[in-house]
Amino acid sequence: MSDYKALQEAVLKGDIKTALEQTQKAIDAKDVARDVLDNGLIPAMDEMGDRFAKGVAFVPQMLRAAKTMQECVKLLQPLFAEGDITSKGKVLIGTVKGDLHDIGKNLVAMMLEGAGFTIVDIGVDVSPDKFVEKVKETNPDIVGMSALLSTTMPAMPETIEALKTAGLRDNIKIMIGGAPVTEKYATQIEADSYASDAGSAVAKAKELLGIS
């Protein structure tokens, strides 16, 4: 078994180039893909998780490490055996109709992706019809909607209505967020969950799908 120290350091630094080189080196040395993942990448992410929990690593570092790990996993992808890796779930996410603000939505997407979810980001100013179309197309577990403006919030219940009409509502969980959005509003419009920030969005998504 190879020593994955250099790989781990690259993941912790968020140095994609070096991490990919190290992954390729392991592949060339005929390492088992599962070992690279279990003994190289995952311990590095665990270490990052610890550092983050202790407050010595910040969100940008965690996101960069997660992104680096994802790139390495892509490289390993063709070599995995059946069942080696599983996604935590698929989240389709967008900013609702009439609203072009996307930093909140992007942060949530990055955090979820870092936590192992598969993300389908459908952008900003997404109409209820487009949500319906993309849900049909990508079959997500969770649909996330974001709004920064109180005037665009009503597009959330409109979208939920459109999903109901299309017969898709029962197959998905709906999560909403954004500065003017509240827990109470989520209940009122019959969304399944509300998250007040990107960090709690991860916890809420896991809760919705019953995973830890």
Partner 1 sequence: MNSSANFYRPLTPANVKRIDETARQILKNVGVKITDDVYLDKLAKLGTIVDKDNGIVRFEDGWLDEMIGKAPHRYTAYSRDGKNDLHMGSGEVYFANGGRVFRILDMNTGGYRLTMLRDIANTAMLVDKLDNIRMYFIACQAHDLKPEFYHLNDFFEAFNHTTKHVMGGCTDIDGAKQVHALASMIAGGDDNLAQKPFYSIITNPISPLTIEGNTLSIIEYCTQRGVPITCAPATIAGATGPATLAGTLAQLHAEALAGVALAQALTPGAKVLYGAVANNMDLRTMELTMGSVEMGMMNAAAVQLAKLYDLPIYGTGGLTESKRPDIQAGFEKNFSNLMVAMTGADLIHLAAGMLDSGNSISYEQYVIDNENIGMIQRILSGIDVTDDTLALDVISSVGPGGNYVMEEHTVDHMMDQFFYPTLGVRSNFDIWEERDRPNMLKGASDMVLKTLRDCHECGEGVLDIELTAEIEAVFPQIDNI
Should residue 149 be labelled a site residue for partner 1 when binding is judged by CB under 8 A?
yes
Should residue 123 be labelled a site residue for partner 1 when binding is judged by CB under 8 A?
no
In the bound state with partner 1, the residue whose beta carbon lies nearer, of 60 and 167, is 60
153, 160, 186, 195: which one binds partner 1 (CB under 8 A): 153
Should residue 60 be labelled a site residue for partner 1 when binding is judged by CB under 8 A?
yes
Q: Which residues of 152-191 are buried (b: 16+ CB within 10 A; e: fewer)?
A: bbebbbbbbebbeeeebbeebbbbbbbeebeeebbeebeb
The alpha-helical segments, DSSP class H, found in 84-182 are 103-114, 128-138, 155-165
85, 103, 203, 211: which one binds partner 1 (CB under 8 A): 103
Q: CB of residue 148 vs partner 1: minimum separation in angstroms? A: 9
In the bound state with partner 1, the residue whose beta carbon lies nearer, of 153 and 189, is 153
Q: How many binding residues for partner 1 (CB under 8 A)? A: 21
CA distance 131 to 113: 20
In whole angstroms, how far apart are CA 48 and each of 71, 75, 143, 183, 206? 17, 21, 28, 31, 19
Q: Where does this chain bind partner 1 (CB under 8 A)?
A: 55, 58-60, 100-101, 103, 107, 111, 149-154, 179-180, 182, 197-199
